[in-house]
Structure 1
Amino acid sequence: MLGMGDGSCPFEFNFDPATFKVGDHVSYRVTGSLEGMPFVGTLLEVHDDHVVISPGESEPEARYRGTREDRPVVDISEI
């Protein structure tokens, strides 16, 4: 995968919730037993108080509701 051997990240993340738009890559967090692990997702919907995230190709039908902040938080019950 691009960038994996040289320490660079193959994704460009948007960490500014004021500029979130559909299609942005975000780094999101999950509560509970997965707390502390970083996840990568794509924004499918952007609302005033939340976002809807797709975790990507591994789960193409999954949709997670997350908070609208620099690194959205998804409740583990969404997973």
Structure 2
Amino acid sequence: MSIGTGVVLFVIGAILVFALNFETEIVNLDMIGYILMGAGFIVFVIGLVLLARRRQAITTSRTGTDSVTGERVEQRITEVDDPADRVV
């Protein structure tokens, strides 16, 4: 969600800077556009960092044959790699 928000802020800022060509005495639309573009870039980068730090699941699958019955046995183990659970 934050990646999309960053893109939207950046696009709105670019529209204010490059597409609109009128001036007002109250506010400087170019400066607001540059601020929105900067904020959009920062939110986009934060979204990428948070996406990279997301939990990762590791699934290990082992297949073997039971020596007594001769049946095929499959074992799956799923481990969650959570950075918050690591002990330093």
Tell whether the structures are fold-level matches, with TM greater than 0.5. Answer: no
The structure with more helix, counted as a fraction of residues: 2
The structure carrying a bigger strand percent of its residues is: 1
Under a length normalisation based on structure 2, what TM-score does the superposition of the two structures give?
0.20
